[in-house]
Structure 1
Amino acid sequence: MANQTPETTNQPSNTQTYGFPIYAADWIPEETVRSKIDKDQKNSEDGGSESSSSSTNSRSCIVLAGGGGEGKSGIANVILICRVDLDTKSLSEQPVGRIVLGTDLPYRMAVHPRGGGLVCALPNSCKRFDWENIMSPREGDQAGEEGEEVVKELKDVGQQLALAFNQEGSVFAAGGEDGTLRIFEWPSMNTLLDESKAHASVKNLTFSESGKFLVSLGGPLCRVWDVKASAAIASLSKEKDEMFAYCRFSVDNAGNEVLYIAANTDRGGSIITWDTTTWKRRRSKLMKNYSISAFNVSADGKLLALGNMEGNVLIIDSTKMKTHQLVKKAHLGLVTALSFSPDSRCLVSVSFDSRAKLTVIEKTPEKHGVNWLLMFLLCVLLYVVSYYFLMAKGIIGKENSLLSDHPTRRYTRTA
């Protein structure tokens, strides 16, 4: 990295390279890092490298995790916190927080929605990381082990492929490569469910908006769990050549919960919408020749984001299931994760190419339909105005006078 800060060397950019393959990305609750952002901005302004008119309200942060694995590649395993500036639509080149994890690759992570740090899935265990520790300045690549906390209930349990909090941050779930699904109360870690045969391997997890349900995905099945009852209540099966890849709960325009499952088929990627009352399919949308490698849903439920093997990012309207925005070659290769901002205004995508990209969501111009009643009234008004205009000019009167003097008219009246 350059010795100078990016504000003095480069123009703001919506794409940054951070030097390690990135496996996970998420937005950080703003209040958890606000003081650090404000402090950085004040130092920047004192140095004269940034305009004091820049608003701190336009600034937020994302957290990125990934690395080279056991270290044979020489690429560090890292958790980074990077600044997002919505005014300039850019990502910071220099992180505001960085912690190196030694030989443990942070393959998956879950951010606590109420500012309680994050949990990372490492090769054999899970660890919780405190935001302040990640953002504390340190020399070189020192690991901040004093800020790491091994989740003892997930120690030496093997690789966890999926982690998730419910929206309140009161329940935490972990799905293992060995097929075990575990659900805990948070932060007490009282066990709600420990199912060793939930799947052959748990690939993805999502809590419903209400927190009542948890959906786990693995192999040919999606299973629906009642969190309070700690029991499976439904199984959602694939059709034909579908291979389920991702699952996400959301809310439709009517305010009803829906479940989206992203699947890959021989023909391309498919988005399947499920009814959360009957657990039956509503509809499916095929994206031909589009192999889905990452999937997410915006917080407002209006947009779906898909990444593919070729590095493209596709954003579609969840109601019409039509393309809203396509970012071709957002990355040099496979897109590993996608995350919408909490206000649904932008999307961060990451990849094995070590890059993070910020995509601002384009606004759809409002289309107004033709108001036929208004058109009819305007036509009537135009007719009336034209009629009186012709009368005022005497055009209509003259025609009537000529007709009254015509011999045929006189004969008809006499008859």
Structure 2
Amino acid sequence: MSRREIPPCSKTYGFPIYCSSWAPLEKIYSKTASASTTGEDESKNLENQPDDTNELSEEISSVESSEHDEIPRDELFLVLGGGGGEGRSGVPNVILIASYDLVSQSLSETPVQRVGTEEKLPYRMAVHPEGEGILFAFPNGCRFFEWESAAEPNKQFQPKIKSTERMLPQLEDIGLQLALAFDAQGSLLATGGEDGKMRIYNWPSMELSFEQSETGKSVKDLNFCCGAKFLASVLDNGNCRVWDLNSKEIAANLPRENREKHLLCRFSQPSDGVSVLYTLSAQDQFLRIIAWSTASWDKIASKNISKDPVSAFNVSPDGKFLAIGTIEGDVVILSQNLQVHSTVKRAHIGLVTTLAFSHDSRALVSTSFDSFSRVTMVEKQKRAGNYQWIISVLIILLAIILALLAYYIKEGGIMLTDKKEL
């Protein structure tokens, strides 16, 4: 058996990966720079210096700030969480930040940061969209990490995390949360527990806005609508409910046909501005993606996509692509009309645990229990798909021309034959 070739876009960091996301680099850069400037201004205000000293201080500050490079435009940063769990498996529990080079299309060999979490396994994460930090779900509760700048003189800006002093007593000792989600504005946080409790908090005050309990069930997935009007939840019994965030009432109980089970859910904001809810659903031996109208909650599209069990699902921020990951390690990217855009067979040697599109929808990261993370560039494959479409059209046109040419040659041959007979 030939050895499996590992491309530069795939790297292992030595631990099974349970959660992943992309760092909102511009938001982090803006926030950390703002905090740094605020601190400098406060320090200056405390000192009653002569005018010439103030001018000199400002010049020095300007020189120091110019030593730091701008935010990198050809580099993205990944946050990964996972490990061996409790016990003495020998595999550490880790939160890791890695960089991805867009030019060479390669993941970094050495991580930007590696933070051990002792006996606590980072099971799920939710990245605050405005760059405040990351909320991690551990077996017994949640913990928040803030971003900090790793910029050094004459070096590029790199994001790192630090344990925050912000206390979240509401999320301590609440058990394992199987789903975490911030809304697009970062003003709402939703948690879904193994105990069947779904909670919505106002952020950052952590005031409890809504709580729903499902006895004997677990919350498997949560996702906010782009405009924070709805929240979709999926339970382990296959039910998918949509909650109206204004009235705190159920807006829809999505129907299930012939013992169908909804497994995962994602809202999308297509280019026409009309929101769509996608569900990954299982029926008999097939898994399919269903599109639901958020205006009527009617089914507007459906397609069978796989016979293999699907373990991960996501939708790109621009709404143009969907992605699934199977327990066989395959990654499939679909277009908005549910047609297969590209497939990476055996992207992993184990089941795909997470899928996450970058904020510009150009890159897709997939992770697995095989300890590998892999980045697939969507934009490049899209161009290749366009070329293939053009080639197909040219082949069809060539076939038509050849058919017409053969017809006229045949007709010409018949005419020549008729003249000879005459």
TM-score by length of 1: 0.76
1:291 aligns with 2:274: no
Task: Identify if the C-alpha distance between structure 1 residues 199 and 186 changes in structure 2 by more than 3 Å, giving closer, same or farther.
Answer: farther
Determine which structure has more spread, i.e. the larger CA radius of gyration: 1
Residue by residue, what CA displacement relative to the aligned partner does 1:248-306 show, whole Å, maximum 9, x if unpaired? 00023422100000122332221011111111211211024132100000111111100
Shift of 1:97: 1.4
Distance in 2, Cα, partners of 1:352 & 1:166:
28
1:141-174 superposed Cα distances (whole Å, 9 cap, x missing partner): xxx9854755211211111100000000010000
- 2:238 is matched with 220
Which structure 2 residue ranges, 5 or more long, are not aligned? 1-5, 31-70, 153-160, 394-422
Q: What residue is the counterpart of 1:76 in the other structure?
A: 92
Spell out, residue by residue over 1:339-381, the C-alpha distance to the aligned partner (whole angstroms, 9 max, x if none).
Answer: 01111111100000000001111123176899xxxxxxxxxxx
Match for residue 210 of structure 1 among 220, 227, 232: 227
CA 1:133–1:150: 2 relative to 1, 3 Å: farther
User: Is the Cα–Cα contact under 8 Å of residues 33 and 61 in structure 1 kept in the other structure?
Assistant: no
Report the Cα distance in structure 2 between the residues aligned to 1:178 and 1:186, rounded to whole angstroms. 23
Cα deviation 1:202-234 (Å, max 9, x = unaligned): 000000011111011102211111112222222
- From the superposition, tell whether residues 199 and 183 of structure 1 become closer, same or farther in structure 2 (CA, over 3 Å): farther
Question: Which one of 130, 136, 152 corresponds to residue 120 of structure 1?
Answer: 136
| Cα separation, 1, equivalents of 2:166 and 2:140 | 14
Who is 1:161 aligned against? 178
Q: 1:132 to 1:241 in 2, by over 3 A?
A: same
Contact 1:99–1:134 (Cα < 8 Å) also in 2: no
Which letter does structure 1 place at the counterpart of 2:369?
F
Please say if residues 162 and 202 of structure 1, whose CA atoms lie closer than 8 Å, have aligned partners that are also in contact.
yes
In the alignment, structure 1 residue 243 sits paired with structure 2 residue 261: yes
Partner Cα distance (1:165, 1:178) in 2: 20
**RMSD (Å), alpha carbons:** 2.8
Kindly report which structure 2 residues correspond to 1:190-209, keeping only aligned pairs within 5 A, or say none. Answer: 190-197=207-214, 200-209=217-226
* Cα distance in structure 1, aligned partners of 2:27 and 2:358: 15
Contact 1:180 1:199 in 2 (8 A): no
Conserved? CA contact 1:183–1:194, under 8 Å: yes
**Post-superposition shift, 1:244?**
1.5
Q: Aligned in 2, Cα 1:152/1:346: closer, same or farther, shift over 3 Å? A: same
Q: 2:9 matched to 1:14?
A: yes
Secondary structure of the equivalent of 2:209?
Answer: strand
Corresponding residue SS for 1:365: helix
Give the secondary-structure state (helix, strand or coil) at the position aligned to 2:148. Answer: helix
Aligned length: 337
- Give the % identical residues: 46
Residue 262 in structure 1 maps to residue 280 in structure 2: yes
Which residue type is aligned with residue 13 of structure 2?
Answer: Y
Contact 1:67–1:78 (CA under 8 A) maintained in structure 2: yes
Contact 2:145 2:163 in 1 (8 A): no
1:29 is matched with which residue?
A: 24
Q: 8 Å contact 1:220–1:237 — kept in the other structure?
A: no
1:346 matched to 2:363? The reply is yes
User: Which of 252, 257, 269 matches 1:234?
Assistant: 252
Q: Distance in 2 between matches of 1:13 and 1:71?
A: 33
- Counterpart of 1:188 (choices 190, 195, 205) is 205
Which contiguous aligned blocks of 4+ residues in structure 1 show a shift greater than 6 angstroms? 133-136
Letter in 1 for 2:130: R
Q: CA deviation at 1:130?
A: 1.4
Unmatched tracts of structure 1, length 5 or more: 1-10, 36-54, 137-143, 371-415
CA distance in 2, matches of 1:222, 1:201: 12
Query: Partner of 2:374 in structure 1?
Result: 357
CA contact (8 A) 2:124 2:179 kept: yes
Distance 1:199 1:259, change over 3 A: farther
